[in-house]
Amino acid sequence: MKKHSIYLLLMLLLCWGCNGDFLTVEETGVIPSSDAPIVTAFLSPQDTVHTVTLYHTRPAAGNNPYATWEQNVAKSTVTLSNGNQTVKLIPDSFLTGVFKISAKNFKVESDKTYYLSVNTFDGKKAEANCTIPSSVVDTTSISYQLVSGSTSNMNTSYLISWKDIPNQVNYYAVYTISELQDLTKKTAEISNERYQHTIDDVERDGQFLGTPQSFLLSKPNYVAKDRLYIWQIQVLNTDIHFYKFHKDYEIAKQADENPFSEPVMLYSNIKGGFGVMAGYTKAVTYFR
């Protein structure tokens, strides 16, 4: 009975809300949805492979042509250009919708603008451009502040800080990636990637900046003598597109699948589609 009363109250609230400023959808049987391509591309001079990803739009109602998309997306044409050189990206053999090109075949440089063009297998077109930031964070300025645990404890948390690049507006992101290196085979297993986005230098130009939350840089209690467990720390100096997209994305994630949360429009700079093309430079250090 109690559950039934709550259900009725909920329905009344919904009906009352629909008489206000909410958008009303006519009962036509199928809710129209966009089938424009969704594209993400993040370019950096420090990357060895440049990647563009095409995603499938999943309609809220009606048929979901995912099978057709999955079978044909590799037939799409994806190109990158620097204004002088234009290259075609190759579909990945294992990852659906991923297109790649080696940095050896297409060089991305700081302070230059790059252009993306997408022609999907079903005739849709999308394009975008971005300019790579001109500077890289000084790796010698990256430092760590212990906030929990101890240096003898393998389960410790650290705040990461670095010196802001002066005399310009900057946006940052920080990634931590654990590496288990095999010193004999000279290989590395990478896992446990963590990140924090949307850090800016507003009113702090040229000063030391830091991550708002600490990172758990834990290590196993025992590692074989021929293995080395370290953390790779990446401090990204990003462009405005990277910053705006991830700022909206973080807000959207806070909804945590709550059906009553307000929808968040994600930032997009893709003409003819959705998503983002953004650039960044990357400073890399290792925490042992």
pLDDT for 2-24, tens place per residue? 444 433 333 433 343 444 444 44
pLDDT per residue as tens digits for the range 176-192: 999 888 888 778 888 88
Give the range with max mean pLDDT: 24-33, 53-62, 190-199, 260-269.
190-199
Architecture, CATH, for domain 37-133+242-282:
Sandwich (2.60)
pLDDT in tens, 160-174: 999 999 999 999 999
Distance CA 170, CA 86 (A): 29
Which 8-state DSSP code applies to residue 6? H
Between these two residues, 94 and 288, which has the higher pLDDT value?
94
* Pick from 6-15, 44-53, 74-83, 88-97: least confident: 6-15
Q: Residue 154: pLDDT band by 50, 70, 90 thresholds?
A: low
Per-residue pLDDT reduced to its tens digit, 223-243: 778 888 889 999 999 999 999
Q: CA 133 to CA 153: how far, in whole Å? A: 38
Q: Check the CA dihedral 219-220-222-228 and report its sign.
A: negative
Q: What kind and span of H or E run contains 243? A: helix 240-253
pLDDT tops 80 at residue 87: yes
pLDDT value at residue 63: 65
What are 99-131's pLDDT values in tens digits? Answer: 999 999 999 999 999 999 999 999 999 999 999
Q: What is the pLDDT of residue 9?
A: 37
Say whether pLDDT at 34 is over 50: yes
The dihedral through the CA atoms of 247, 234, 139, 229 has a sign that is: positive
Comma-separated ranges of CATH 2.60.40 domains in the chain: 37-133+242-282, 139-238
User: Can you give the pLDDT at residue 119?
Assistant: 97
At position 115, the amino acid (one-letter code) is Y
| Residues whose CB falls within 8 Å of the CB of residue 1, separated by 6 or more in sequence, listed in order | none
Encoding tokens for residue 112?
């230059």
User: Token pair 């000279």 is at which residue?
Assistant: 186
Q: Tokens 């009363």, residue?
A: 5
- Per-residue pLDDT band for 29 (boundaries 50, 70, 90) equals very low
Taking residue 168's Cβ as centre, other Cβ atoms within 10 Å add up to: 13
How many angstroms separate the CA atoms of 103 and 67, rounded? Answer: 32
Weakest-pLDDT range from 90-104, 115-129, 144-158, 263-277: 144-158
Lookup result for tokens 């971005």: 130
Of 65, 104, 106, nearest in space to 84 by CA? 106
> Is residue 71 a contact partner of residue 56, using CB atoms and an 8 Å limit?
no
**Number of other CB atoms surrounding residue 127 within 10 Å:** 16
How far are the Cα atoms of 32, 73, 111, 269 from residue 63, in angstroms, in the given order? Answer: 11, 18, 44, 28
Q: Is the confidence at residue 248, as pLDDT, over 80?
A: yes
Fold of 139-238: Immunoglobulin-like (2.60.40)
Separation CA 198–CA 244 (nearest Å): 8
Q: What is the CA radius of gyration of the chain?
A: 23
Backbone angles phi, psi at 73, to 5 degrees: -60, -30
Whether the pLDDT of residue 61 is over 50: the answer is: yes
Residues found in the chain: 288
Q: Is 2 or 73 the better-scoring residue by pLDDT? A: 73
Q: Is the pLDDT of residue 255 over 60?
A: yes
